[in-house]
Amino acid sequence: QPRVKKTPCIDVDQHYSVPNIHTGTEITVITGTYYNDCSRPSLDLNYPSFIAFFSSNSSRTVQEFQRTVTNVGEGPASYAANFTSLEGYRVSVTPELLVFKEKYEKLSYTLRIEGPRTKKEEKEVDFGHLTWTNGKYVVRSPIVVTILRFHM
């Protein structure tokens, strides 16, 4: 059964206000992972959920998210991707099939959300989910898409 494990890359000064933490060792104690200095900080911490922000004033129409999952089930396993459709958006995942050869193997996938095909009356927030299933287990990740409207 795959599981998303957070593997943080923390830039304390830029993204977080953490008082009295000054060393990588202290961050390792708190996060449970080895601290490394990130040359390109990111707010994408490999969480199992997705939120895509689109602006009504922007031409940006694609959001991509990469996730890494770990097979925590016994032995080999294959998981197929399915997702609920989000009205006005085109959603795809690559690859559509994760084939694990052994326990604790890590594989990555990319979720791509294209849109919105906006109309004034469209919902500003919509919800869906991505599921990975092998016939026995189902791993579900929530998806939220939102249109930020700016009125001046």
- For 33, other C-beta atoms within 10 Å of its C-beta total 14
Asked if residue 79 is part of any domain, the answer here is yes
**What CATH number does residue 86 fall under?**
2.60.40.2310
Asked if residue 47 is part of any domain, the answer here is yes
Number of domains forming the structure of the chain: 1
Given pLDDT bands bounded at 50, 70 and 90, which one contains residue 26? low
Helix, strand or coil, per DSSP, at residue 82 = strand
Residue 77: predicted pLDDT? 93
CB-side neighbour CA atoms (13 Å) of 66: 5
Q: Which spans in the chain are helix H?
A: 12-15, 24-31
Across residues 16-22, what is the average pLDDT? 50
Asked if residue 26 is part of any domain, the answer here is no
- For 58, other C-beta atoms within 10 Å of its C-beta total 10
Asked if residue 49 is part of any domain, the answer here is yes
Asked if residue 27 is part of any domain, the answer here is no
Asked if residue 65 is part of any domain, the answer here is yes
Residue numbers of the domain that contains 61:
43-148
Asked if residue 29 is part of any domain, the answer here is no
Residue 34: predicted pLDDT? 64
- CA-to-CA distance for 131 and 138, rounded, in angstroms? 6
Does residue 56 contact residue 148 with C-beta atoms inside 8 Å?
yes
Number of helices followed by number of strands (H, E) in the chain: 2, 9
Residue 96: predicted pLDDT? 97
- Residue by residue, DSSP assigns 98-110 as EEE-STT-EEEEE
Residue 81: predicted pLDDT? 97
CB-side neighbour CA atoms (13 Å) of 97: 6
